[in-house]
Amino acid sequence: MSEKTFDEKRHDQLTTAPKASELDAAPRVTVDEKSDGVKRIDVADTAAVRPGTTGE
């Protein structure tokens, strides 16, 4: 039996609750790494909840 990858473990953990769905395991951030080693972390466009005001 092979060891599960980080992504497989994350998916299993986020979808095991009784009312969980596949959307719960969707990525919430994106990470881009430049050639000089600088990393940029952003909230994913597909994230269900985003920081900031609600526009009310």
Report the distance separating Cα 52 and Cα 56, nearest Å.
11
pLDDT value at residue 38: 96
pLDDT value at residue 56: 61
Indicate the pTM of the whole model: 0.55
pLDDT value at residue 19: 92
Task: Name the burial class of residue 47, with classes exposed (0-12), middle (13-18) and buried (19+) by CB atoms within 10 angstroms of its CB.
Answer: middle
pLDDT value at residue 54: 67
- List pLDDT tens digits, range 1-56: 689 999 899 999 999 999 998 888 888 889 999 999 999 999 888 777 777 766 66
